[in-house]
Structure 1
């Protein structure tokens, strides 16, 4: 082994979040302390082809900065497990559960963690129903239609009528054969970062997402130059502490390891908090709310990377 730790940074991949992954990976490559680490960038193309075969003589640890299906759903994590290589982030089960909006809801409900009302159905069930309103009869307008397995707000629609619902489901089905429809609520949106191992994870200060319209879509997150979050969030201390506690409970519920970003909805009128989703490999771009939340919590970006790599070695026993 060389004096510096060789870090294979995986990026790209065949998911619809290929470009986001490239941005995240570049930020990681730029920020890795060069006196400690030797970066080994590995760009997986859109067809899922690797430029090199990943081996222990190529890198000491892997940082899979991959978003969405193939990279954040346990597939790559399983491959790295078979290679016996230390890697950053959640393992196979936590990654797979968090990526699937149906599975994560079931896991959270089982742990008495509050979630937004939702329904789900398969493409076959949708195509063969005689009444398109039947699957969503338990919900009210507006609703949010989402592919069951996708991130970065890709394939999501806010719908307020049956015509919009049909179009939203058609869009979601271009990304997945399972569709989730969530109840829309009037609420503020927040995130909380989690960092650590199985036993003593920590939660960052919460951040509030700045939503320019009805919701924070892909363009607002990654293409606009407008500010997207207030960190730390302006909240009553009790609510902020509740968010942090729920973040840790959600992280433990899925068996999280390394890192996750937990997304919340907060209804000010009722005081209700809902866990919206858990991202096991959140964006690592320069505008990343996960990294900014930890910076505001006293862990600057280079230190954050170092802690994640240390956690990867600790889990593997290296």
Structure 2
């Protein structure tokens, strides 16, 4: 290993979240302390072509700041495992489960983690019937239609009628062959960060997403300059503790390692909490709610990056 740790910051890729990944990578590259780390930018193009093949003589550790299919779903993690390179974040199985909204929900249900009512179906099942209401009849309006494997709110629609449902499903099918439809609830949207290994991971203070319209879409997350979160969230202590406990349970349910952001819905009138999803490689942009939650918990951004890199080495035994 060189005097400075060579960190390969892996970004881009062929998924629809290519631009988001580049934003995250710029933030990581800018924030890595140069007295400790030597950043090496590795940008995969939209066709999936790598500028260089990663090897131990080029980098000491990889920070895969990749979002969505190909980068966050276990594919790149498996490649790095085969190369014998330490890398930041969840391993192959946890990444794959965290990316797939159907597999994720099965894991959560097995661990009695509270979820909103939902259904899922394949493109074949959708095309094979004219009774589309029959596929979602256990739910009420509004509903949220999502591709099973995608992030950053890409391909998601809020629907309130059969015509909107059909349009939303067609949009989701443009990104994946499996569609998840969730029951909409009137709730506050909360987040909580997890950081650590397999033993006793830490959880951040909860934050609350500021939803400017009916829901927080891609434009509001990445294109608008409006504030998107209150951190820490203003919550009763009991609710804040339940959020933290559920975040840890969700992380353990998928076998998480390194980091994750867990998203929640909080029905204030009933006091119910639902786990919406777990994100194994949340955004690392300057506006990232994951990084901000940890800053509010006493871990500033450069220290957060350092801890994640240390965890990568610890898992590999380096």
TM-score range, shorter chain: over 0.9
Question: Mind listing any 5+ residue stretches in structure 1 that lack a counterpart?
Answer: none
- CA–CA distance in 2 between the matches of 1:314 and 1:2? 18
For residue 63 of structure 1, what is the aligned residue in structure 2? 63
For residue 174 of structure 1, what is the aligned residue in structure 2? 174
**1:156-200 Cα deviation digits (max 9, x unpaired):** 000000000000000000000000000000000000000000011
Tell me the TM-score normalised to structure 1 length.
1.00
CA positional deviation for 1:130: 2.3
**1:183-231 Cα deviation digits (max 9, x unpaired):** 0000000000000000110000000000000100000000000000000
3-state SS of paired residue (1:133)? helix
For residue 188 of structure 2, what is the aligned residue in structure 1? 188
Question: Mind listing any 5+ residue stretches in structure 2 that lack a counterpart?
Answer: none
- CA–CA distance in 1 between the matches of 2:268 and 2:64? 37
After TM superposition, the structure 1 = structure 2 runs for residues 72-91 of structure 1, keeping only pairs within 5 Å, are: 72-91=72-91
After TM superposition, the structure 1 = structure 2 runs for residues 163-312 of structure 1, keeping only pairs within 5 Å, are: 163-312=163-312
CA positional deviation for 1:296: 0.0
For residue 17 of structure 2, what is the aligned residue in structure 1? 17
3-state SS of paired residue (2:107)? helix
Aligned length: 318
For residue 125 of structure 2, what is the aligned residue in structure 1? 125
- CA–CA distance in 2 between the matches of 1:47 and 1:275? 34
- CA–CA distance in 2 between the matches of 1:143 and 1:242? 26
Alignment of 1:50 onto 2:50? yes
3-state SS of paired residue (2:82)? helix
Tell me the TM-score normalised to structure 2 length.
1.00
3-state SS of paired residue (1:150)? coil
Alignment of 1:144 onto 2:174? no
- CA–CA distance in 2 between the matches of 1:224 and 1:180? 27
CA positional deviation for 1:128: 1.2
- CA–CA distance in 2 between the matches of 1:115 and 1:182? 10
Q: What RMSD, in angstroms, separates the aligned Cα atoms of the two structures? A: 0.4
CA positional deviation for 1:116: 1.0
- CA–CA distance in 1 between the matches of 2:253 and 2:230? 27
3-state SS of paired residue (2:132)? coil
- CA–CA distance in 1 between the matches of 2:58 and 2:32? 17
